[in-house]
Each structure stands twice: as C-alpha cells, then as structure tokens.
A and B are shown apart, each in its own frame.
Chain A
Amino acid sequence: MQTERWRIVREIFERVVDLAPDERVATLDDLCGDDVELRREVESLVGESDGAETGIPRVIAAAARGMIDNDECRLVTVPEKFGPYRVLELLGRGGMGSVYLAEREDRAFQHRVALKVLRSGLSDTGMEARFKSERQILADLRHPNIARLVDGGTSDNGVPYLAMEFVDGRRIDGWCDERRLTIEQRLDLFRVVCSAVQAAHRSLVVHRDLKPANILVTPDGHPKLLDFGIAKILGPSSHDHTMAVTGTLDRLLTPAFASPEQVDGRPVATASDVYSLGVVLYALLVGTGPHVFENSSAGEIERVICRGDPDRPSLAVRRRKGTGEGARAAGIRRLTEERLARRLSGDLDVIVMTALRKEPERRYPSVEALSEDLRRHLAGLPVKARPDTVFYRAGKFVRRHRASVAATVVGVAAVLVFGVQSTVSARIAEKERDRALVAEERARVEAKTAERVSSFLVDLFRVADPSESRGEEISVRQLLDRGAARLNDELTDEPGTRGRLLKSVGEVYRNLGEYEHAAELLTQSIEVLQRDDPQSAELSPSLNQLAGVSIELGDTEESHRFTALALETARRSFDGDHRQIAVALNNLGWLAREESRLDDADRYFREALEMRIRLWGDEHAEVAESLLDLGTVALDRDRVPEAVELHERGYDMRRRLLGADHPLTISSLATVVATLESMGDFDRGLERIDEVMPTAIRILGPDHPAVADLQVMRGRQHRFLGRLPEAEAAFAEALRIERAARGPDHPYVGYAKVQLGVILTRSGRFEEAEQSYLEALQIYRNAYPEGHIYEANTLGKLAELALERGDGEAALRLARRSRELFGQLLPEDHGELLQGDALIGISLAAAGRGDEARPLLEEVLPQIVAAGGEDCRDAHRIREALADLSP
C-alpha cells in the first residue's frame, strides 16, 4: 500500500534523481508546476540521496553494540583500588570514562597519578596487548610539556585503567580567558603546545585527540598535553577504519575536534593533529569552534566536518558582532569586536584555514610549519601559507535584453573613480604582508626626524582618506588642502619624502574624485622626484597614478603618453613581477577599452591579473580588481556569462578582503548591477543599488562622482521599468554632480545628458531631448577623436528621437551614420550592430521606402527574436513596422 501523495513524490524523485542539475531543474518545473510543496519535498529527498549510504547501518550497528556493552558491568560507585593504586577522589567524567586522582598503594613512588578508567564497552581484550606494545613508545615520550603515561593494567574486576602523570592545571581555553590574554599571548602559548606535539611526532606518536580539554596549563603557565597516544590504544586496529565500517561513532572521542579523515575512517597521521590544533587555535582566537552541529547524530557530524565550510576567524567574529557573546569574547581578548575581526583577518585567517583544510596533504606539512608561520606573523614577516581559491558557478539565466553600450560606461566610471590601481586603502588590506616592504622603504629615509614627520603626515592623510575612515566626520578637504599647502613649502630638502607625500596626497584627491587637483599634485610629485633622482623607483607609483587620473579626466593624448611612460619606468625600475608593472598594464587596459580596442584591453588586464596572482596568490585586493576589469571587458564583448562570473568573483573577493562598506566593494557592486541590467533583472539591480546608495553617500559625500554613477544606474533601471519621473529625477541629480565634479565638458556629463535625453523623449518633451543629445554630442566630439563609440550611441538616440517626431528621413540619416560607426568599432556578431540594423530598417519604413525596408526587417527579425525573445521591444517595433508596410 502506498499513499497517493507518496506515490507521486516517489515517481518524480525517481525521474529526476539521476539527472544533471540543469535538467533536473527543468524537469521539476514541468512535473511540479506550481506545487511548491511538492517540489520542495522532492528536492529535499534528492538532497538526502546524495550522501554516503552509511547512516542506517551505522545506527543499527551502534544499537547492536550497545546491546553487548550493557551486559558488561558498569561502575556505579567510586572504587577503592585499581591494581597498585588507591583512589583518592573523582576528578571528572568524560566521554572516555572516569578520571580519578590516585596514588600508589605501596607508596613506592610518591607521585600522584590520574587514573583513567575506561567506560565499559570501549575496551576489549585486545586492549591490553595493544597497550603493552604502545607502552614502551609512550614511556619514552618524555617532554616537559607532555604528561607521561606511567602505567596501565586491569583491576581485579577486570576493568582496564591507565595511569598518567597527574597535572594540576586548567584547560588552555579557560586559562587564557581567565587571564584575559591578548591574541599575541595566546599565540605564544599555543606555540609551546605546538613544540610539544612536534616532539611527539618526531617519536612517531600521533595524539589523535587534541582538544582544549587535553591541553592543560599549570599555574606557572606551562602547557601540558594529556592523553597522548591513548586513542590508539583504545582503537581496536591500527588503521582506525572501524568508524566508517561499523559506524561505531562512539569511539570517536570528541567529534568537534576530529579531522575529516578520522570521521571518514581513513588512516590517521600527523596531519590529523595539525587539523585538531587548527581547531584549538581557532577556538583560542575566536572563542567558539569552527563547526556548528545541529544535532549529535553521526550523519550530522560527517556532514559538518567532511563537507562543511567553516567561516574563517575574522568572518566568524564579524557575524556575531552585536551579540552579547561576541562582545564578551572580544573583551576577554582585550579588543573591540571590530578590532578583533581586523586583527584576525589576513595572516591569521589564512594560517588557521590552512590547518583546517579537508585534505591532509593541503594542510601544513608539520606542526612545526604551523608554528613557524605563527612566528613569522608575530615577527611581522610574510607568512608562507596561501589562501584558498574560491570557485563560483555562473548561474543559469535567460537573456532578454542585450547589453547596450552605454550600460558598461557607468560601471567603468564607478570603478575608475575609486582608483583603478592600488590605493592607500587597498594597501591596508595587505598591510600584514607588506610590513616587511614598508619597513624597507622607511629605512631608506635617512634622518630620524624626517622619518617621524613623514610617518605622521602619511598617517594624517590616511585618516582623511574616505576608504580608511569609513564615514567618520572629518573635514577631508580642509585637511588635504592644508597638507598640500604645507608640502609646497616644507621638506624641500628632502625630495624623496616630499615626492612620496605629494603622491599620497594626490592619490587621496583622486579617491575623492578631485581629478584636477590630483593631477596637479601628481605632476608636482613627479617633477620633484625626477629632479632629485631620475632613476628613482619612486617615480613609478606616481606615474601610474597620474596615468590613471589622465584617463579619468578624459584626456586621451596625455593618457597615451603617461601610460606608456609609466609602463616603461616600472619595467626599468623593477625586475620580473612587480605591483607597479601590473598597475601600469592595467592602466593600458583601461585606455584600450576607452578606445574600444577590446582585444588589447583583455590582453592587458589578463597580463596584469596573472602577474598579481604570481605576486600575491589567488586571494588579494588587487586580484579582485583585475577580475572586475576583465569582467567589464567581457561585458563589452557581449560575453555575459563570463562577465557575470568574473564580476561576482571580484565582488565577493573584495567583500571578503575589504569589508562590505569599503568604497571599492561598493563600486564593484555597481559593476554587478550593470551586468544584472543586461540580463534584464532591473528590479534586482535597483535593489542592489538602493542597498549601496546610503552607504556611498555617507562615506563619500553626496557630491562624489561615484554617487552620480549610482544615480545614473538607478535612472536606467527606473527607465526600463517604465518609471519615467523617477528616472528623470535620478538623471538630473547625476548630471548635477557630474558637472560639479568633473567639469561641464567631461564625457561622463555627456553620458548623463544622453540618459536624460532618453527620458525626455519618452515623456514627449522632444525639444528638450534634442537639446540634451546635441550637447552630449558636442562634449563627446570635443573629448574624443572622431568616431567614438559614445558618439555612435548618441547618434542612435537622435535617430530614435527623429522617429518619434515622425521625421523618417532624418532618422535614416542618423541611424546609418550610427550603424557605420558601430560597425567600425565592434566585432561583427555584437548585439549592438543587430539593433543598429533594426533601426535602419524601421527608419526606412518611416521614410516611406518600403521596398528597401521590408527585406531588411524580415532578415533582422528572427535574429532579434533569437537574441532578445519574442516579446522584446525591438521585435515589437519591427513587427509593427512590417505590419504598417503591407496594405
């Protein structure tokens, strides 16, 4: 008998369980339709069927085992004697059994011991034999920080016991908390623990059950490790595969600290101790363990340890910010929550997560290596561990709207505004690693006083940088202007310092969007440095900054000059891979993109990305930047899935490394939104923008160009959703800011005007629209050489306007010119060209040239439908036009 409902669920389950995920989704759509409950039911079953099939046999075997155990005698009262030992008191009970304080009956040795009496069912007759063979090894294990295994045997009742050196101490986590030890102090203590474990490993003894309860600290601050090698004695075989085979997880003594291979029942080696130490370290730093278990079933343990993805320490701290627990944990470590998170991010995150890797061979090769990296971190040296690469899957989506050229401009603008290359803020992100480099740089400055002055000033300006202060109330410009003025007069006898400071200040101006000022200062910086030492390596960063600013200013000729010069200088100053070379390459990429040389742009960005990965590994603020750059180019080339993937990777990386409220993170979000727009997901794009807008205004100020970019994007989304008044308001605001920030002739102002023009057209305000477009055209023609892509775009818009006004001839002229320009700049299969053809066709029809119109329209229609769907706007218009033609 099967209930009806169950029968349906079963059938669907059987049909979809073996399908690939894509097919499965589609089939579920067909079969479940609107029935959300049904779908969820099936999906949850599919989810469960993925796992290893060990759940049920394990439960049964455990029950069976339990049945055996029960018939052995269980200790109900505290016994008096165990072999030659007399029990003094009960120290505690744990999973393994009970622990008693005892001393030898015959008082032969005055030592007190800790007697571990094993819970019935955990031992079997083989134990004694195993103990004998292990005993010698363990007895030889003498180390000041390891509690010795003294003796072992069976009591008269046949109950086995182990006698160990008694340690009067407190668990390491409790000890650290009670004394409110700082992170550094905890690390120092932890390293002592590591040396003890390493000593044992050298004697080929693996602990297998490292956890805070096994690491005690004596009153004078010496750690002592307990229960070394005990687990092996208890385990019935030298391969420990009992756990998986029978699922007797009750032998797995402390799951929270067990390594994946222990849970899985695979062979255990020193790497398992590395893992367990990683968990202990995590707990000492964060205050909780890395894993969260929902229940204590074996299945859950396996799921969490073998397949789970723990938060890295700094993220765990951030997640619980604002809770009592979080505040308490931070306070105990003598830090605020935010400080704790920052302290842990970077090196410590990487070190801990390396030790916690699921695959033993990817962890530290030895406990010593782990300890060494901690030492390096404490000494301010670069650590050896490298973060994990994270992979993202591009989601499945349906393209309904093609990326219009203009959409990408805004993304670019937003990114450019915050500084394409490494800013002061990005440096903060990898400050830990560069500590050594900074120290070297500083050493170059000769006079002590000059060094102090320069440090002071640089720090002063760091506070003024919005990305560092994150929105605190400081009058940035006042500080900057004052600083810039001072630099004019001061430090004239220290050109190196002065040049560097000028560059820093220039950089901050750039971050604020004050490009003119920035250019001034950067030029000054270069002059000063060059005069002092034309070969100075300091020139490279300044040149790179200037090159970037010139691109942002829209100054094409200068851009070419500076980017070329910057790359040359960087290559000359540094051998092989260097950050400045990567930055220079990146700038070249931007310039190429401005000029629609998309292949070149891609090439430059890729080169920069590869260099950056070589320099810093997969996870780094600058790597994120390169990913986003590549994503933007991908979008330009109409490769939307690729663009989505790159953007999301870059954005997520920035979020992880810099935090969600960092300006760079915000700007990359803008890029993500641009991609969403091309996918037609306007609502979600609007959501994302509105998420980010208040933060952007708060941190950057309402007149920051980035805010303008966000407004433009907002306007576009509103426009696509048909909300013209909102769109107009957004564009108007954008225009205001752009004009103020960049000057009335800046190309971005032109862009805003175009957007406004579209709204005005839709609202029927044709005169105003035309005015706007023409102004935009003028700006573009001034800024760029003839035939720039923005010009082509604007001409297209003018053509649309003409159509609205019923002027077919004008429309045709404009449409043709626009299409011609696009054709010169874009690859043949680009969607923009298709739309251009459609526009020409419609214009021909409007101009009364039906014979020419019809074939073109009929040719173009299926392609348009294939690209944008049956119901896309262009398809409608074409059909309308065709309908009008046939009488």
Chain B
Amino acid sequence: MTSAIDVTRLLHRWREGDPEALDELTPLLYDELRRLASGQLWRERKNHTLQATEVVHEAFVRLIGTDVPWQDRAHFLAVAARTMRRLLVDHARGRAREKRGGDFVRVTLQPYDAVIEPPGEEILTLDRALGALADRDKRAAAVVELHHFGGLTHDEVAEVLGISPSTVKRDLRVAVAWLRREMTGTAHAD
C-alpha cells in the first residue's frame, strides 16, 4: 500500500532531477485518486458537492500530509492534475462503451421535451479540446490543466510553470474562451 513517506520521497527525487521518480509516482497517485473518488468517503458526506479538485486535494492530504513546503505541494498537485485528467477521461470512455448497450434514454423525440443526457461524456470533448489547445499553446493548456484539474491557485500554477501570476491569468482567460468555443461547436476551422 502506498504510504505518505513513499510519495514524499518520490517527490523529492523528482525535484532533484530524477525523471524516473515521476514514472513511479504516477501509478501510485492514480490508484489513490481512484480509490478516493469511488470510495465510501464521499457517500458518507451529506450535502457533498464533488469537485475533481477536492479529490486531488484530499489525495494530497492523505498521501503527504498538510505541513509540507508549498513548492512540494504545488509540484505534487501538478502531477495529480495530469493524473486526474487521465482518470476522468478513462472512466468516461469506459462508460461510453457500456452505454451503447442502450441503458439510458438519449434525447427524446420532441425537442422541448428533451431530458438532459448526464454530461459524463463532456469530459471527453474537453479532453480533446485541451489537446488541440496544447498543439497551439502548450503553456496555456498546462495552465488550464493545473488550475482546473489540479485545483492549483494562480500563484501555485505560476510557481510550477515558472511564469508570473499575471501571465497565468492571461493564459487562463484566452484559453477558457477558446475551449468554450471549441466545446460548443461554434469554432470554425483554423
């Protein structure tokens, strides 16, 4: 089982420049995140509003503990963010496969009567859009991933990527606009 010490050690190795540490870290994180997300933990909470970022933060607390230097946390969360994204996408893909068995009712015939399809699959669109954004602007895509999947603050994002917080803000602004457009299908071919 994963322990907090293992993760911290791996983190330190990574920061000290050991690229393999990241490879070892990721699967640990994946498992932990998955466990957390699916676990009883969430169901027990009343009035709980689930956010992916909360899952990530919860994972951090469990794996590493709260009094860890800020930089470490930020870097951990960067990895966690990427992992979380993968996790959500994989899951949605899996579900999409299952669904073709016809269990859910899609949009009904009368347009004004349409019941909303549980938007579990929108994540796939977002993932694709984010990939397309990365082709144009790697840094902006990274900012989005860190901020939205990892729950990092602007300052933390800035720290991880080595840019200024105001750059983070600017990146977010244009990236989000672009992503929204991509996702609602109003973009025209570039």
Binding site for B on A (CB under 8 A): 1-3, 5-6, 10, 13-14, 17, 40-41, 44-46, 48-49, 51, 53, 55-68, 70-71, 74, 76, 93-95, 121, 124-126, 211-213, 236-237, 242, 245-246, 248-250, 252-257, 279, 283, 288-289, 291-301
Contact = CB atoms under 8 A, between A and B. Distances in A.
B5 interface: no
A300 B181 CA distance: 11
A125 B176 contact: no
B180 A51 contact: yes
A74 B174 CA distance: 41
A250 B112 contact: no
Contact of B119 (A59, A211, A279, A293): A59
B68 interface: no
A213 B113 contact: yes
A295 B122 CA distance: 12
Interface string B48-74: 111111010000000000000000000
Interface in B126-149: 126, 135-139, 144, 148-149
Given A2-B136, A44-B187, A45-B181, A249 B47 contact: no
Closest 9 CB pairs of A and B: A289-B112, A66-B120, A95-B115, A63-B123, A49-B177, A6-B136, A48-B177, A250-B118, A63-B88
B176 A49 contact: yes
B131 to A, nearest CB: 14
A68 B117 CA distance: 17
Given A13-B177, A60-B123, A63-B91, A94 B148 contact: no
Contacts of B122: 59, 62-63, 297-298
Contact of B111 (A59, A124, A289): A289
Contacts of B55: 64
Contacts, number: 194
Contact of A61 (B47, B52, B114, B179): B52
B119 A298 contact: yes
B91 A295 contact: no
B15 interface: no
B176 A236 contact: no
Given A6-B137, A125-B46, A246-B50, A49 B173 contact: yes
A105 B49 CA distance: 38
Contacts of A125: 43-44, 46
Contacts of B139: 2
A56 B88 contact: no
A59 B42 CA distance: 19
Given A63-B120, A70-B91, A297-B122, A288 B137 contact: no
Contacts of B137: 1-3, 6, 10
A262 B3 CA distance: 44
A91 to B, nearest CB: 14
Central interface residue in B44, B105, B173, by most chain A CB within 10 Å: B173
Nearest to B144: A56
A297 B183 contact: yes
B88 A67 contact: yes
Nearest to B89: A63
Contact of B47 (A14, A59, A236): A236
A17 B173 contact: yes
Contacts of A288: 111-112
Contacts of B116: 95, 249-250, 252, 254-255, 296, 301
17 contacts: A1-B138, A2-B138, A5-B136, A14-B173, A48-B177, A48-B181, A59-B126, A59-B183, A63-B120, A65-B50, A67-B37, A67-B38, A67-B87, A76-B103, A249-B116, A291-B112, A298-B119
A52 to B, nearest CB: 10
B178 A71 contact: no
A237 B176 contact: no
Given A5-B190, A6-B137, A66-B92, A60 B113 contact: no
A239 to B, nearest CB: 10
A58 B177 CA distance: 15
Nearest to A61: B51
Given A60-B148, A93-B105, A68 B115 contact: no
Contacts of B50: 61, 64-65, 68, 246, 248
A462 B55 CA distance: 73
Nearest to A45: B177
Contact of B38 (A71, A253, A300): A71
Contacts of B120: 62-63, 65-66
Nearest to B87: A67
A124 B176 CA distance: 33
B170 interface: yes
A283 B185 CA distance: 28
Nearest to B34: A67
A123 B69 CA distance: 39
A314 to B, nearest CB: 18
A55 B115 contact: no
A3 B135 contact: yes
Contacts of B103: 74, 76
Contact of A70 (B43, B44, B95, B148): B95
A300 B92 CA distance: 21
A298 B122 CA distance: 10
Contacts of B187: 44
Given A5-B190, A68-B50, A299 B149 contact: no
B99 to A, nearest CB: 11
B119 A249 contact: yes
A56 B126 contact: yes
B138 to A, nearest CB: 5
A55 B52 contact: no
B107 interface: yes
A17 B46 CA distance: 41
A275 to B, nearest CB: 14
B98 to A, nearest CB: 9
A291 B114 CA distance: 11
B180 A68 contact: no
Interface string B160-190: 0000000000100110111111011111101
Contact of B179 (A2, A56, A68, A255): A56
Contacts of A295: 184-185
Interface string B68-83: 0000000000000000
Contacts of B38: 67-68, 70-71
Given A63-B92, A94-B115, A249-B119, A55 B183 contact: yes
B180 A62 contact: no
A250 B105 CA distance: 13
Contact of B51 (A44, A57, A255, A301): A57
Given A6-B137, A68-B50, A48 B178 contact: yes
Contacts of B183: 55, 59, 297, 299
A246 B51 contact: yes
A291 B112 CA distance: 7
Contact of A299 (B148, B173, B180): B180
Contacts of B95: 66, 70
Contacts of B118: 62, 66, 121, 250
Central interface residue in B50, B52, B122, B137, by most chain A CB within 10 Å: B122
Nearest to B149: A60
A48 B180 contact: yes
